[in-house]
Structure 1
Amino acid sequence: MERRKFIQSTAAAGALAGIGSLGLLSFTAAKKPKHITILHTNDVHSHIEPFDNGHAQYPGMGGAARRYTLINQIRQENPHTLLLDAGDIFQGTPYFNYYGGELEFKLMSKMRYDAATIGNHDFDNGIDGLLAQLPHAKFPFINANYNFDNTVLEGRIKPYQVFVRDGIKIGVFGVGIELKGLVAKKHYKETEYHNPIDTAKTIVKQLREEEKCELVICLSHLGYEYRDDKVSDQKLAAATKDIDLIIGGHTHTFLPKPTVALNAIGEKVLINQVGWAGVNIGRIDFYLDSSGKKNGGGAAIIV
């Protein structure tokens, strides 16, 4: 199937996994020789435990234990699964105040996250505090538009990571929001911010042409959309090409299904974000033929 038709049909199958009582809605392609499942979270903000049963918005929802159980169930259904996070892992409960991020990273490692990008709140204990917790993360952190030269994170953060699932090469890269004015300078020190759109164009070309990736995913901590000219996931999608999926964070946006946006050459790209606090897990299913060409399809788990 052509890429445009693939994106359109896959978007109809957008995915939210509410970590509470679950129901299942399926959307299946007629032909699916290669099946890749993308699971994702964003802005979990140190919510280790579920919300109290009396919570006004999310009674009994969320929690690391339920997330772990759900992830394992989906992996049993499809072993060709990637688990990703779009940043702001830290800050929000006393677990962060007491453990400084150690518990969050250990639990994510137990869940076997494949990669995460860096959110602005992940600098809340400073760049040195983030470095101190990295040994507890058994997964890579990826960001392409922060230059960490001359900082303690130099050489420790990758611009992208290539994964292979069911014989399909998947390139995942990260971009983050401008830290100036949002994070105290003393916390990010000499970290340099580069324009995420320009960065994305360079990285995507590398992933497509040099790494020969059939799927390209952006882990973004830019925010879904703004009223001003601030760079967002929507603007990133419109200004680039060859990105299949943008997994967003920062604005805590609950999307009932992925947004279908047009890229710089009029092709469709998916944008998804699943709120905050680990209440939801996003799920997108890609189906490809043996040559890596995409066929529409997907499944959604909903509350």
Structure 2
Amino acid sequence: MKRRSFIKQTGAVSTLALVGGLTMPSFTAKKQKHITILHTNDTHSHIEPFKANDTRFPNRGGVARRATLIEQIRQENKNTLLLDAGDIFQGTPYFNYFGGELEFKLMSTLKYDVATIGNHDFDNSIEGLYKQLPNAKFDFVSANYDFKNTVLDTHVKPYKVLFKDDIKIGIFGLGIELEGLVGKKMYKETGYLDPVEITQDITNQLKNIEKCDLIICLSHLGYYYKNNPDKISDLNLAKATKDIDLIIGGHTHTFLPKPTIVKNSEGKNTLVNQVGAYGVNLGRIDFYFDEEDATKSSKGTTILV
């Protein structure tokens, strides 16, 4: 099957219009398949909304509100995926008391499809993370963490392939270097592989062997580091690699009202998105696959929770 060539378009669209199911004029005359990607990052054990007197996010966030939004969007488009870019743990007493059990159970109730692992997800040690995995009814992916000498060996895969409306979607994960950021005793023998090198291997596998129509990276590398511009980040990863359609990021708590468009190593567009932290926002990217002329287009926005 010939790989779909693609043209990407993105723009800010109002939350109301997106949730209501806006039909863009250029799409109306064509037979299309529509895939919606919803995503979070760095929720940090924030289960309840922020208080009304909070100076940053008054009355924002909360798992119940997120669940309502997700359900509304799923009713609009049954071909919806829900993804997370890591740092699920640490930040409220819920984590201190339950050790991650509640977070994973709630994410399972919301029917997350795939997540990657952030540095704070090791805060109860790698054994603590492993202990909570039975409460996660979704898959974890990480391509550049080598878990072969740890309890997570075989429990975290490099990538996951899913189908929505006969569209084949490959999702892989990348994590930040743990040395110097997390105590060695917390992540034990977890190995760190170069994100750019492993991405080239994984995207080749997903595009040329698996024949995926859409390739998504769940990244906990960070959006960009102004004080260290050469450090590996989502923007630098996008520039140095090819065949990624969308990078969903985390770690730097960067709020993007819409995805950033980055030219990859072949001069093609890669979308990079991140929606802050603490569950106060929900990211949404819509991909449209045209069956007649084999093109792919997209639009994205951030929804306030």
TM-score range, shorter chain: over 0.9
Maintained 8 Å contact 1:286/1:294: no
User: Residue 141 of structure 1 aligns with which residue?
Assistant: 140
User: Residue 155 of structure 1 aligns with which residue?
Assistant: 154
Determine if the alignment matches structure 1 residue 237 to structure 2 residue 238: yes
Equivalences, count: 293
Maintained 8 Å contact 2:45/2:278: yes
Letter paired with 2:16 = G
Task: Provide the rounded CA distance (Å) in 2 between the counterparts of 1:42 and 1:281.
Answer: 9
State the Cα deviation string for residues 37-87 of structure 1 (Å, max 9, x = none). Answer: 000000000000000011112111100000111101100000000100000
Letter paired with 1:50 = P
Consecutive unaligned residues in structure 2, runs of 5 or more:
none
- Indicate how the Cα distance of structure 1 residues 27 and 248 shifts in structure 2: closer, same or farther if over 3 A, else same: farther
Q: Secondary structure at the match of 2:69?
A: helix
User: Residue 38 of structure 1 aligns with which residue?
Assistant: 37
Task: Report the Cα offset of residue 216 of structure 1.
Answer: 0.2
Letter paired with 1:180 = E
Determine if the alignment matches structure 1 residue 98 to structure 2 residue 97: yes
Letter paired with 2:138 = F
State the Cα deviation string for residues 22-48 of structure 1 (Å, max 9, x = none). Answer: 633546233351000000000000000
Task: Report the Cα offset of residue 294 of structure 1.
Answer: 3.1
Determine if the alignment matches structure 1 residue 284 to structure 2 residue 277: no
Task: Report the Cα offset of residue 230 of structure 1.
Answer: 1.4
User: Residue 257 of structure 1 aligns with which residue?
Assistant: 258
Task: Provide the rounded CA distance (Å) in 2 between the counterparts of 1:299 and 1:268.
Answer: 14
User: Residue 295 of structure 1 aligns with which residue?
Assistant: 296
Maintained 8 Å contact 1:32/1:287: no
Task: Provide the rounded CA distance (Å) in 1 between the counterparts of 2:301 and 2:148.
Answer: 41
- Indicate how the Cα distance of structure 1 residues 140 and 85 shifts in structure 2: closer, same or farther if over 3 A, else same: same
Task: Report the Cα offset of residue 2 of structure 1.
Answer: 5.0
Task: Report the Cα offset of residue 13 of structure 1.
Answer: 4.6
Consecutive unaligned residues in structure 1, runs of 5 or more:
16-21
User: Residue 79 of structure 1 aligns with which residue?
Assistant: 78
Letter paired with 2:283 = G
From 15, 24, 27, the equivalent of 2:17 is 24
Task: Report the Cα offset of residue 298 of structure 1.
Answer: 3.5
Task: Provide the rounded CA distance (Å) in 2 between the counterparts of 1:2 and 1:207.
Answer: 15
- Indicate how the Cα distance of structure 1 residues 14 and 250 shifts in structure 2: closer, same or farther if over 3 A, else same: farther
Determine if the alignment matches structure 1 residue 168 to structure 2 residue 167: yes
Task: Provide the rounded CA distance (Å) in 1 between the counterparts of 2:49 and 2:199.
Answer: 35
Task: Provide the rounded CA distance (Å) in 1 between the counterparts of 2:300 and 2:118.
Answer: 28
Task: Provide the rounded CA distance (Å) in 2 between the counterparts of 1:264 and 1:88.
Answer: 29
State the Cα deviation string for residues 169-218 of structure 1 (Å, max 9, x = none). Answer: 00000000000000000000000000001000000000001111000000
Superposition pairs for residues 108-123 of structure 1, below 5 Å?
A: 108-123=107-122
Letter paired with 1:23 = L
Task: Provide the rounded CA distance (Å) in 2 between the counterparts of 1:32 and 1:121.
Answer: 44
User: Residue 269 of structure 1 aligns with which residue?
Assistant: 270
Maintained 8 Å contact 1:24/1:301: no
User: Residue 63 of structure 2 aligns with which residue?
Assistant: 64
Percent same amino acid at aligned positions?
A: 62
- Indicate how the Cα distance of structure 1 residues 101 and 160 shifts in structure 2: closer, same or farther if over 3 A, else same: same
Task: Provide the rounded CA distance (Å) in 2 between the counterparts of 1:188 and 1:135.
Answer: 19
